[in-house]
Chains A and B, each alone.
Chain A
Amino acid sequence: MTEMTHPFSMANKRILVTGASSGLGRQIAISCAAAGATMIICGRNAERLQETLGQLAGSGHVTILGDLTADDAITATVEQAGNIDGVVHCTGISIPMPARMAKREFIERLYNINVFTPQLLTNQLLAKNKINKDGAILFMSSTAAVRGVHGTSIYAGTKAALIAAARCLALETAKRGIRVNCLAPDLVETPMLHGSGANMPTGEWLDQQRAIHPLGLGTPEDVANAAIFFLSPASRWITGTTLIMDGGITH
């Protein structure tokens, strides 16, 4: 089999990844580049974005520094990105918060980063015809969108919004063969999971979670491999769907 006809090859594809300075976004950039793609990687932290860039195989990759919650950063990103074959929206935050403590400021912050940013960026990319025919749009949802977890009512809503949006977007972009899907991972071992702060999980809780997932917790590589599937020709007939990846926990 030649490289060019490999159904999972990313050769000759230009892929935009947001949130590429750490965690899932970084791994997706690394894996896509290793699979042959030219990457356009976005993030807020120059140093860490450079670290990601340093880990990309191949050449011709581009970094775009900016905070995508600002409209002008979205406009600049769309301009600098050029024509792309795929976009993976990895910008996002996950902060558990009991409903009785969740104030407007908190809710607006989560929706702003998790929903408005990927939607506005997508809309601009489509408006400016930056996504090539047969391209792919991939949103990072979460199993929180489909299974109730104590303390995540706000976060769950932001992730469910992406699933609903993807289904409608899929219909709007089907004429051009552009596909729109969501990945909904459960707990993945990323810096976000091991972060610090009052609401961050304890080691004991994490061990408990590892035990109750039939296949344990995920790795960033697992999510990156699924992203490659959804960006590659192998999934050219899949759109409007959400793939739950969760080591079997979701009921």
Chain B
Amino acid sequence: MSELKLDAFSLRGKRVLVTGASSGLGQAVAIGAAAAGAEVVLTGRDAARLEETRAAMVGEGHLCVTADLTQADQREALVSQAGVIDGLVHSAGTAAVRLFRQIDEDFIHRDFSINLDAPLLLTQQLLAKKQIAQQGSIVFIGSIAAHIGTKASSVYSASKGALRPAARALALEVGPKQQIRVNYMAVSYIETPLLTRLAEQGMGGSMATVTEPPLGKGVPEDVANSAVFLLAPASRWITRATLYVDGGLTCQISAQ
């Protein structure tokens, strides 16, 4: 076989920061980015599990930084260690489901603090310190819940949904001069520990109300491959976009 020309999909020579890298989607994104040639900065709250992710990655120079990104001082510590990055994938998130009558102020604040405030404030700090390189790429991992509005997920849908317009607005501020791209991924049901945990807690009611995606449930690698595409030169003209990685779920329900 002649040599394949896939340079446009390579992350060789790039540094990528992945949040939520200790499990689920973030873990798969870190592994996928490394496989595509990137040097990865992994962050998450659990040091041991971050190391497990690193052990599963190919390549050299990966850095684990334990941090709770809802805490300003820990965000600062992460930024001071991360160096200049070419890619940023916001995978950290919570998917706590609760019926509307059961929500309260604390629940709302906690959800927004993890899903919206932390990724926005981390991005802001990295930009303020000029730690996102020219032609860099920022990817927010959102959820189709934000587009559908699934049962018991009013707060989660709102916090994930808020990321999309935030990303689009940010893209206008960092696009013309810095050529930094900002995109949003709308993900549906992937086999992850988080989804399993929700089911075990008997909180799967919201899932059951939505049919199985036409292509079945996804695997974390599906999200990782899409993230690599959005980080790579192959997508250099794509910004302010929403990529639906959902097994065909939302094409049935006018949610795109």
Residues of A within 8 A of B (CB): 1, 3, 6-11, 31, 34-36, 57-58, 166-167, 170-171, 174, 177, 179, 214-216, 218-219, 221-222, 225-226, 228-229, 233-248, 250
Task: Give min CB distance, A251 to chain B, whole Å.
Answer: 9
Which residues on B sit within 8 Å (CB–CB) of A222?
235-238
Q: Is B201 an interface residue (CB 8 A)?
A: no
Task: Give min CB distance, A74 to chain B, whole Å.
Answer: 26
Q: Is B256 an interface residue (CB 8 A)?
A: yes
Name A167's contact: one of B215, B226, B234, B251 (CB within 8 Å). Answer: B251
Task: Give min CB distance, B223 to chain A, whole Å.
Answer: 8
Name B239's contact: one of A10, A174, A214, A229 (CB within 8 Å). Answer: A214
Task: Give min CB distance, A33 to chain B, whole Å.
Answer: 9
Q: Is B175 an interface residue (CB 8 A)?
A: yes
Q: Is B55 an interface residue (CB 8 A)?
A: no
Task: Give min CB distance, B88 to chain A, whole Å.
Answer: 17
Q: Are A35 and B6 in contact (CB under 8 A)?
A: yes
Q: Are A57 and B6 in contact (CB under 8 A)?
A: no
Indicate with 1 or 0, residue by residue over B202-232, a CB within 8 angstroms of chain A CB atoms.
0000000000011100110110011011000
How far apart sit A219 and B222, CA to CA, in the bound complex (Å)?
Answer: 27
Contact A171 to B2, CB < 8 A, known contacts A7-B225, A228-B234, A248-B175: no
Q: In chain A, what residue has the closest Cβ to B58?
A: A1
Which residues on B sit within 8 Å (CB–CB) of A246?
237-238, 240-241
How far apart sit A94 and B129, CA to CA, in the bound complex (Å)?
Answer: 45
Q: Are A240 and B35 in contact (CB under 8 A)?
A: no
Q: Are A248 and B240 in contact (CB under 8 A)?
A: yes
Q: In chain B, what residue has the closest Cβ to A229?
A: B229
Given A8-B225, A10-B4, A234-B229, 20 more contacts at CB 8 Å? A3-B4, A7-B221, A31-B5, A36-B1, A167-B251, A174-B248, A214-B240, A215-B236, A222-B238, A225-B234, A229-B9, A229-B235, A237-B213, A237-B218, A238-B222, A238-B226, A238-B243, A239-B248, A248-B175, A248-B239
How far apart sit A149 and B251, CA to CA, in the bound complex (Å)?
Answer: 25
Which residues on B sit within 8 Å (CB–CB) of A58?
2
Which residues on B sit within 8 Å (CB–CB) of A219?
237
Which residues on B sit within 8 Å (CB–CB) of A177?
215
Contact A214 to B172, CB < 8 A, known contacts A174-B215, A222-B236: yes
Q: Are B4 and A215 in contact (CB under 8 A)?
A: no
Q: Is B250 an interface residue (CB 8 A)?
A: yes
Task: Give min CB distance, B221 to chain A, whole Å.
Answer: 8
Q: Are A36 and B237 in contact (CB under 8 A)?
A: no
Task: Give min CB distance, A161 to chain B, whole Å.
Answer: 15
Contact A239 to B238, CB < 8 A, known contacts A7-B228, A58-B2: no
Q: Are A57 and B239 in contact (CB under 8 A)?
A: no
Q: Are B5 and A35 in contact (CB under 8 A)?
A: yes
How far apart sit A6 and B244, CA to CA, in the bound complex (Å)?
Answer: 22
Q: Are A241 and B251 in contact (CB under 8 A)?
A: yes
Q: Are B247 and A248 in contact (CB under 8 A)?
A: no
Name B256's contact: one of A8, A216, A234, A242 (CB within 8 Å). Answer: A242
How far apart sit A58 and B218, CA to CA, in the bound complex (Å)?
Answer: 33
Q: Is B252 an interface residue (CB 8 A)?
A: yes
Q: Are B226 and A235 in contact (CB under 8 A)?
A: yes
Q: Are B226 and A234 in contact (CB under 8 A)?
A: yes
Most chain B beta carbons < 10 A, residue from A34, A221, A233, A234: A234
Q: In chain A, what residue has the closest Cβ to B4?
A: A36
How far apart sit A171 and B239, CA to CA, in the bound complex (Å)?
Answer: 28
